[in-house]
Amino acid sequence: MASRLLFLVRHGEQDRAEEGGDTGLSPRGRRQAELLAARLRGTPFAAVHHGPARRAVETAEVVAAALPGVPVHCSESVGDHLPHDTDPAGLPERYAEFLAGFPEPERIEGPRRTAEAVARFATAPAEGDVRELVITHNFLVGWLVRHALDAPERRWLGLNHHNCGLTVLRYSSGGPPNLIAHNDVAHLPPELRATGLPPDYRF
């Protein structure tokens, strides 16, 4: 029975102190990536995949340094994009406002790239057992979790992931996908978790 273990990681914390939109990791983000790398060291991955944004590239570089010999690939399909042109009707106002901020081209291109990622990663391999690591962004992790659970399409909204949190999905030729781990941050101390949330939300 063939199976794919898909390890999904949201990139480390972005450096907001830098100017410009495509910025790299903050010092906290680099430390998050280093601790993730230590946890994943020695895992027999077939490949590491990452999106083209600097924060994803830099996270992948740190992690890949702990995985010598594992090929690393950059792909637009696992980049930072809108996964689904979700109908805002019936959604909370803040979600509707959020969705309204996406321009028309991204409403077309984002779902297309997401479909490519699903076709590439969200299936069992033809044969054997495969482990792959995808370093991506919050939206795609949420979409792939929603997809694996066969949840309504709008449920990618509200699935929020820690920077360098670890989610694992298993795709098997013998049955439906399994959610093995979700947003696991056992490798991060409390002060490096829940990036972007108020201190009283951190745990």
Predicted local distance difference test score (pLDDT) of residue 196: 55
Between 23 and 74, whose confidence is greater? 74
How far apart CA 64 and CA 62 sit, in angstroms, is 6
Q: Quick check: 200 pLDDT over 90?
A: no
What are the extents of the domains in the chain? Answer: 3-201
Single pTM value for the model: 0.93
98 neighbors 88 (Cβ within 8 angstroms): no
Predicted local distance difference test score (pLDDT) of residue 120: 97
Q: Quick check: 197 pLDDT over 90?
A: no
Architecture of domain 3-201: 3-Layer(aba) Sandwich (3.40)
User: Strand 72-74 relative to strand 129-136: parallel, antiparallel, unpaired?
Assistant: unpaired
